[in-house]
Amino acid sequence: MNGTAKGELSSSLTEKLSRGNVLAKECPSRGILQDVTSRWGVLVLFSLLDGTHRFSELRKKITGISEKMLSQTLQALEADGFVLRIAHPVIPPHVEYRLTDQGGTVARKVGDLVNWIELNLEDILHSQKRFDECKARKES
Amino acid sequence: MNGTAKGELSSSLTEKLSRGNVLAKECPSRGILQDVTSRWGVLVLFSLLDGTHRFSELRKKITGISEKMLSQTLQALEADGFVLRIAHPVIPPHVEYRLTDQGGTVARKVGDLVNWIELNLEDILHSQKRFDECKARKES
DNA sequence: GTAAGTACGCACCTTTTGGTAAGTACTATT
DNA sequence: AATAGTACTTACCAAAAGGTGCGTACTTAC
Taking only the tens place, the pLDDT of each residue in B71-125 is 999 999 999 999 999 999 898 899 999 999 999 999 999 999 999 999 999 999 9
- Whether residues B127 and A81 touch (CB distance < 8 A) is answered with yes
Mean pLDDT of B6-21: 59
**Which nucleotide, over all strands, has the C1' atom closest to the CA of B67?**
D8
Asked whether the beta carbons of B58 and B44 are under 8 A apart, the reply is yes
Say if B105 is an interface residue toward chain A (CB within 8 Å): yes
Say if A19 is an interface residue toward chain B (CB within 8 Å): yes
Look up the pTM and report it: 0.89
Say if B113 is an interface residue toward chain A (CB within 8 Å): yes
Closest CA to A103 of A121, A78, A120: A78
Closest CA to A30 of B59, B40, B72: B40
pLDDT value at A76 more than 80: yes
- Whether residues B128 and A80 touch (CB distance < 8 A) is answered with yes
Taking only the tens place, the pLDDT of each residue in A32-53 is 999 999 999 999 999 999 999 9
**If pLDDT is split at 50, 70 and 90, which confidence band does A5 have?**
very low
Residue at shortest CA–C1' distance from D5: B92
Query: Which residue is closest to B48 within chain A, CA to CA?
Result: A6
Question: How far does Cα B37 stand from its chain's mean position?
Answer: 4
Residue B18 one-letter amino acid: S
Asked whether the beta carbons of B82 and B49 are under 8 A apart, the reply is no
Residue A123 neighbours by CB distance under 10 Å: 13
Residue A59 neighbours by CB distance under 10 Å: 16
Taking only the tens place, the pLDDT of each residue in A20-30 is 899 999 899 99
